Amino acid sequence: MLLAVAAAFVINEAAAAQSTQEFLGELRLEYQGAVSVHDAAQTALRVIDRQFNAALLRIENARRTGDDAGRSLALSAAQARTVPLADARNRVDVAADSLRTARQSLINVLIVRQVELIALADAASSAQERREFDNLLRVVSNELAARENDVENDVSLDPVAMPDIEFDLRDGPTELLGKAEILEVTAARVDTLILSIDAEITQLEGRRDMERRRRDFLAGTGRFGDLQPPTGTTSGADPGVQATDSTAAGGRPISLEERIVAKRDYRQILVDERERLLFRARDFRARVRRRS
């Protein structure tokens, strides 16, 4: 659907093409600004997240050593970071949404420009002019692949820090319930990360499908002549592979399909960890019931 829209916007006049190029310049600036805001929000979240987890660990360590004063201070520190942590996560979510919007807007116009350059190359009056459009087309195609790859870096946060909590024979009901609550809170954070991975998988599947449609569209134009297809891959390559992807074993590019499989494997690891945390939390709560 997106390529059909792009095709409808193909403009052969040089003046109109310049207008598209100027629009791309504006979108590039907006995208870079969104990247900077998102990076800053993630950095701030990591700082508060580590402070919060450090406070949780200090609570547990103080309890083990019988340091009531230290435990009280650590508890206050953890409570003081609860609201800032929620605010920081919200700012990351907002920044990530803005980044995705800015990136998609840039991708959409890059596709329009790509199709536009194909039409200009087809209408070129000389081989030299045709080569010039071919070079511009390669630059745009490489930028398009790079922006599509950016999805790998703009939605995931650092892995959730797992609390170091073990059963102690000296634990009373209060300590056991406190440990269960920490494990449950951590499991909820893992669940949030799972939802983020689900969103990444959905985006990768969308990119894969769009890339296939775009390649089918470009292959169907039949207007390349002596030009090489400006898609950044060799003839017969996997349509899910892009020139700017990371490389797999043997040095070949990793396909989008392989990335999707890797994300699904990582998701399963997180699901298993969440279940382990919840199982341990249930065990602590069961110990309290058996003692009552």
**Tell me: the pLDDT tens digits for 71-96?**
888 888 888 888 888 899 899 989 98
pLDDT digits (tens, 9 = 90+) for 137-159: 888 888 887 887 765 554 444 45
Q: Which residues of 78-102 are buried (b: 16+ CB within 10 A; e: fewer)?
A: beebeeebeebbebbeebbebbbeb
Q: What is the mean pLDDT of residues 179-197?
A: 89
Nearest Cα residue to 230 out of 149, 126, 115, 125: 115
Q: How confident is the model at residue 64 (pLDDT cuts 50, 70, 90)?
A: confident
Q: What is the mean pLDDT of residues 102-129?
A: 85
Q: How confident is the model at residue 114 (pLDDT cuts 50, 70, 90)?
A: confident
Between residues 17 and 70, which one has the greater pLDDT? 70
> Looking at residue 11, what is its pLDDT?
39
Could you tell me if 149 and 250 are in contact, meaning their C-beta atoms sit under 8 angstroms apart?
no
pLDDT digits (tens, 9 = 90+) for 240-262: 444 334 445 444 546 778 888 88
Q: Is the pLDDT of residue 220 over 60?
A: no
Question: 48-57, 140-149, 240-249, 265-274: lowest mean pLDDT where?
Answer: 240-249
